[in-house]
Amino acid sequence: MSTTRRRKYALIPLVIIAAGGCLALGWWQWTRYESTSGSFQNLGYALQWPAFAGFCIYAYRKFVRYEEAPPQQPAAAAAVTEIPAGLLPERPTAATQSAVQDPALREYNAYLAELAKADEANDHHQNRTAI
């Protein structure tokens, strides 16, 4: 006996318990809907739980079918494909050093360097504690 057949029959009690549990929860929600404190939310759940029970049975049947005869994959899905040229965007190139050649930028950087040196020189005179 193959492992597929053993697995198929071993899952039957699990499917029965799962579907029975879903139907029991549906019945419980129906009785809650009919009680004085019931609402339309309970009615929605009462209709939803049997659908879950049906899904348990459907999933089991689908599992058995796939175990007996797996779906055939197209031959094209198994082949390795290449990404066509031009499909992906081009990577950006690094910025050129023309910004360093700019005299205004050089002057501004020199000004910032002077401010940093002056800040370091005056650092011991400043009290930077929060008040």
Q: What are the tens digits of pLDDT across the range 47-79?
A: 999 999 999 999 999 988 888 887 777 666 667
Q: Quote the CA–CA distance of 131 and 127 in Å, as a whole number.
A: 10
pTM confidence score: 0.50
Q: Quote the CA–CA distance of 131 and 124 in Å, as a whole number.
A: 18
Q: Which token pair is 12?
A: 């039957």
Tell me what pLDDT residue 67 has: 83
**Contact of 19 with 56, CB cutoff 8 Å:** yes
Q: Which token pair is 100?
A: 């360093």
Between 72 and 33, the higher pLDDT residue: 33
The DSSP code sequence of 5-60 is HHHHHHHHHHHHHHHHHHHHHHHHHHHHHHSTT--HHHHHHHHHHHHHHHHHHHHH
